[in-house]
Amino acid sequence: MNNKIAYLKIYPVNYEILTIIMTSAFNEDTFMHTDLEEDGPSGYNDGRLIKWLNEHKDFESYKVVYNNTTIGAYTVAINLNGEYSLEMLFIDPKYRKNHLGTTVWKDIEKKYIDAKKWTVETPDYSKRNHHFYTENCGFVFSRENICDNGCKSFIFEK
C-alpha cells in the first residue's frame, strides 16, 4: 500500500465530509458529460447514500485518506459465490490528477484477493468512468441497464 494512503472505517461523524466530497465528484462528472450541473444516485447529496452504503450489512465501506486528508471512499459488496461488486468509489476532484483512483482500485483488489469476479455499474454518459474501469482497472463492458426512471447505466465485469 502507498505510504500516503490509508483506508479507515467510516463512522457517522464522517458522513458530512464524505457527502460533500461525493456531491462534488458526482456533480463534476455529470457537468462534464451532460447539460446538467448536478446529478447522481438518490441520496448522493444529502447524506442518505453514504449512510446506506456504510450501514448495509452486506457491504464493506472505507474512507480514503491521503496525506492525512479524507479524499473519498469506496464500498464493496461481497457475494458468497466469490462475486464482488464495487458499489461506490469516489475521489475528490481536486485529487483526481494524482491517479489515486487507480491506486485505490489496485489496493481494493489486493484486499479482496478471494474475488473470482468483479462488477461495477456507472452512468452510460460517464465516458471518463468507462475509460477508468476498462483501461486502468481491467474491466470489460458487460451490458446496459435501464433503470425504472429511464436512466441508463453500463455494467462492467472483471
Q: How confident is the model at residue 2 (pLDDT cuts 50, 70, 90)?
A: very low
Q: By residue range, what is the domain housing residue 51?
A: 5-119
Q: Tell me, what CATH number does 94's domain have?
A: 3.40.630.30
Predicted local distance difference test score (pLDDT) of residue 30: 61
Q: How confident is the model at residue 1 (pLDDT cuts 50, 70, 90)?
A: very low
Please indicate whether residue 79 or residue 150 has the higher confidence score (pLDDT): 79
Residue 44 pLDDT > 90: no
- Domains in the chain, number: 1
Alpha carbon distances (Å) from 152 to 45, 60, 77, 140, 145: 20, 26, 21, 17, 6
Predicted local distance difference test score (pLDDT) of residue 125: 80
Please indicate whether residue 116 or residue 126 has the higher confidence score (pLDDT): 116
Residue 135 lies in a domain: no
Residue 65 lies in a domain: yes
Residue 112 pLDDT > 90: yes
Residue 124 lies in a domain: no
pLDDT per residue over 75-107, tens digit each?
999 887 899 999 999 999 998 778 899 999 999
CA distance linking residue 22 with residue 54, whole number of Å? 14
Residue 32 lies in a domain: yes
Residue 101 lies in a domain: yes
Residue 125 lies in a domain: no
Predicted local distance difference test score (pLDDT) of residue 31: 64
